[in-house]
Amino acid sequence: MAGSTHEAQGLVDPFGRVIRDLRISVTDRCNFRCTYCMPMEGMQWLPREAVMSFEEIERLARIFVARYGVEGIRLTGGEPTVRAHLPVLVAKLAAIEGPAGPVDLAMTTNGATLRQMAGTLRRAGLRRINISLDTLDREKFERMTRRDELERVLDGIEAAKEAGFDPVKINAVVERGVNDDEIVALARFGRERSVEVRFIEFMPLDADGHWDDGSVVGQDEIVAAIDAAYPVEQLPARGAAPADRFRYLDGAGTVGVIPTVTKPFCGDCDRVRLTAEGRFRTCLFATDEFDLLAAMRAGETDDELAARIEAAVGTKWAGHRINQVNFVRPAKSMSQIGG
Ligand code: SAM
């Protein structure tokens, strides 16, 4: 595929969307068992040899960034910080240059080990960090994550700020009847700690399969709850970013909502994903995957891998079908895909 038009223009899908963001899952393993994501027991981990090595991740990342001008990479999982020697991978990826300069390297984490790791990750070249926190109540935290780790996560948020990550963003999945009574408390936490809380609508990617329409708290309801306590106004269009953002009228920062279910933003989607075992996905809800790791291990050249990537991007859907009768859940749950 060397010299193809896509190469000059970037990676463009059939609907004219330019791919600028790559999510890489570095492990399917996690030290939490969040009820909206993983089962309590019985998760089948990938065998070590099935997971991409750092060199394999770096090689694919280089194709996306250097060849196609992908601007951002976000490391995720599973829980990325449980992958041994993660800062080594961060340093390798941070060194990759695209046409627009060094890649913008970010990570999503549960935050539990950031007191130990935040400084090292920052020095290795990680630029941005999102930390998941769905409740401020210790017992509820234990029910939702099946781990008694609230204090460590709160300390991890402080450690990320002390390490110089700015902004630190908080991801909070809202599930009806579970933590929807804490929307205002979480918003207040964000205001007081100067972190941007981003509320995420619960998506049908839970391993337990208990998601249904009724468990989703939609953006309008989330914003109304916040606005009643702390008036907000919506900021101008989000572009390709997943969150709609709102400004507190009293100047105490911003808050976001990722309305995947009630206000899908697929028309602006610029994201693709690599699972920990090197499968390429063009949508979080895709039912097809493209096995780049097998191709790489079979000895394919960068041009051959690029041809596979272009062909896969050529299948990217116009949008997910969560709200349609023909929606089919992906066989994998969020932790196996890489959220
Ligand atoms: N372990 C890391 C963490 O906790 O942030 C990274 C992986 S986790 C799968 C990435 C994000 O996906 C987290 O913010 C998590 O809350 C979110 N998530 C997981 N399952 C979800 C679901 N069913 N609906 C919406 N968000 C979900």
Measured in Å, residue 339 CA sits from the centre of ligand 1 at 5
Between CA 328 and CA 289 the distance in angstroms is 15
- Averaged pLDDT, 77-90: 98
Between CA 292 and CA 298 the distance in angstroms is 10
Between CA 131 and CA 112 the distance in angstroms is 9
Q: pLDDT at position 175, please?
A: 98
- Averaged pLDDT, 159-183: 97
**Ligand 1 atom 2: residue of nearest CA:** 109
Q: Is the pLDDT of residue 2 over 80?
A: no
Q: pLDDT at position 323, please?
A: 84
- The answer to whether 32 and 81 have CB atoms below 8 angstroms apart is no
Tokens 């539990």, residue located: 112
Residue 321's pLDDT band (boundaries 50, 70, 90)? confident
Measured in Å, residue 235 CA sits from the centre of ligand 1 at 25
Q: Is the pLDDT of residue 7 over 60?
A: no
Q: pLDDT at position 259, please?
A: 96
Each residue of 220-252: pLDDT tens digit?
Answer: 999 999 999 999 999 998 788 899 999 999 999
Q: Is the pLDDT of residue 4 over 80?
A: no
- The answer to whether 109 and 130 have CB atoms below 8 angstroms apart is yes
Structure tokens at 268: 């602006």
Q: Is the pLDDT of residue 87 over 70?
A: yes
Q: pLDDT at position 9, please?
A: 58
Burial class (CB in 10 A: 0-12, 13-18, 19+), 249: exposed
Ligand 1 pocket list (CB less than 6 A): 30, 36-37, 76-77, 79, 108-110, 132, 171, 173, 200, 202-203, 205-206, 334-335, 339
Q: Which is nearest to 195 in space by CA: 117, 122, 111, 121?
A: 111
Looking from the CA of 22 toward its CB, the CA atoms found within 13 Å total 29
Q: pLDDT at position 339, please?
A: 84
Q: Which atom of ligand 1 is nearest to the CA of 260?
A: 25
Each residue of 99-131: pLDDT tens digit?
Answer: 989 999 999 999 999 999 999 999 999 999 999
Residue 47: count of CB within 10 angstroms of its CB: 8
Q: pLDDT at position 201, please?
A: 98
Mutate to test the pocket of ligand 1, among 35, 38, 132, 211 (most ligand atoms within 8 A of CB): 132
Kindly state the helix (H) or strand (E) to which residue 108 belongs, with its residue range. Answer: strand 104-109
**Facing residues of 21 across strands?**
72, 271
Measured in Å, residue 38 CA sits from the centre of ligand 1 at 10
Structure tokens at 86: 């993660």
- Averaged pLDDT, 168-174: 98
* DSSP helix/strand/coil, 86: helix
**Ligand 1 atom 19: residue of nearest CA:** 37
